Amino acid sequence: MELVGEVLMGLGLTLLGLGLLVVLYTVVYRTCIKGKECRNKTSLRGKTVLLTGGNSGIGKATALDLARRGARVIVASRNRKLGESAACEIRKESGNNEVLYMSLDLGSLRSVRAFAEDFLQSEARLDILINNAAVICEGESEDGFNVTFQVNHLGHFLLTHLLLDRVKQCSPSRVVIVSSDVHRKGTIDFQKVHKPVEGYLKAFQSYCNSKLANVLHVRELARRLRGTNVTFYAVHPGAVHTNALRYSPLWVQYPYLGFTWLFFRDAHNGAQTSIYCATEEGLEPLSGSYFDNCRRDDTCPLGRDDALATKLWEFSERLLGIAP
Ligand SMILES: NC(=O)c1ccc[n+]([C@@H]2O[C@H](COP(=O)([O-])OP(=O)(O)OC[C@H]3O[C@@H](n4cnc5c(N)ncnc54)[C@H](OP(=O)(O)O)[C@@H]3O)[C@@H](O)[C@H]2O)c1
């Protein structure tokens, strides 16, 4: 009898401990991890949104929110099966039938050009462009560039260039580029930033460089297009639990698995700053800025270097063969 009592007491204490842990975790998640929510109810009825990398993670959560607001949403990514199934899920969850998949591989400049041609033929409007796709990958693209730098910066640079007239025609319109806080670790060495690298650590440095390039791209776009009613925003989504490391070596993935699941925000919360920059009224005076947690934040000094932004713009044009 005494033994049963002790076992029950032990069980009770264990359950109490677990309950306290769950409560503690919920409080920590809500106060420190979840981040700020975009609370506006801006309707996007009649507007068209193009979002790269919308088949998973932050991109998919962003697409779902914008579809719920009534936008026509084009999800552009490289894997047709994944892209079509994501578009289908978003249609079902949002009740909005105007969510479509279009094929785009940012790692191939040929694909970017073909995509832009198809898009301009089939879509009359482009009110919001969200450059969200990214990879951390070693090796060379089919165009001979560093894959990470091409997918994250050069491919998006070309896409934005090819679609910019349509964005201007639909002004007031916006371009949101998803960067990252790790842009602070980035550098732009024009001798080698575009050159392929081997090994994960070097690929990660290329990722940081490409995220700095995203911040500088936004800054230069805002400067060049001042007065056109098209505005530009760079975003850090926070530390988000997604499949972003799925192409990384296992020694990188495994230590992160439990940690990210517990201590990173989910994709819905990670999408909030992109949604905010795409929909919040009155942000226009902050065109060219960097946003974190639904508010403007400072970039690192290199991210505010206008001469570097202009040099990167001209360098990217030369690499892409689109010099004016
Ligand atoms: N997760 C974080 O903690 C975090 C932190 C800071 C910034 N970010 C930024 O947030 C953005 C979204 O990342 P995520 O975490 O949601 O990662 P994710 O789930 O891996 O999403 C990346 C998306 O990009 C697509 N993509 C990759 N290569 C492509 C290519 N060559 N052409 C077209 N699409 C391509 C992927 O498609 P596939 O499925 O075909 O690969 C996927 O849809 C990225 O810009 C990332 O740098 C994320």
With the most atoms of ligand 1 within 8 angstroms of its CB, the residue from 50, 56, 236 to mutate is: 56
State pTM to two decimals.
0.94
What is the reported pLDDT for 76? 98
List the chain domain ranges.
Answer: 105-320
Report CA(4)–ligand 1 centroid distance (Å).
54
276 is catalytic: no
What is the reported pLDDT for 232? 98
Give the strand pairing for 230-236 and 289-292: parallel
Number of the ligand 1 atom closest to the C-alpha atom of 264: 3
Report CA(213)–ligand 1 centroid distance (Å).
16
Helix axes 200-224, 306-320, angle to 10 degrees: 100
- SS3 of 150-208: HHHHHHHHHHHHHHHHHHHHCCCEEEEEECCHHHHHCCCCCCCCCCCCCCHHHHHHHHH
Number of the ligand 1 atom closest to the C-alpha atom of 243: 19
Cβ of 55 closer than 6 Å to ligand 1, yes or no, is: yes
CATH architecture, domain defined by 105-320: 3-Layer(aba) Sandwich (3.40)
What is the reported pLDDT for 257? 74
What is the reported pLDDT for 299? 97
Report CA(6)–ligand 1 centroid distance (Å).
52
Average pLDDT by stretches of 10, the chain with 324 residues: 82 88 80 89 98 96 98 97 98 98 98 98 98 96 98 98 98 98 98 97 97 98 97 97 83 76 90 98 98 98 98 98 84
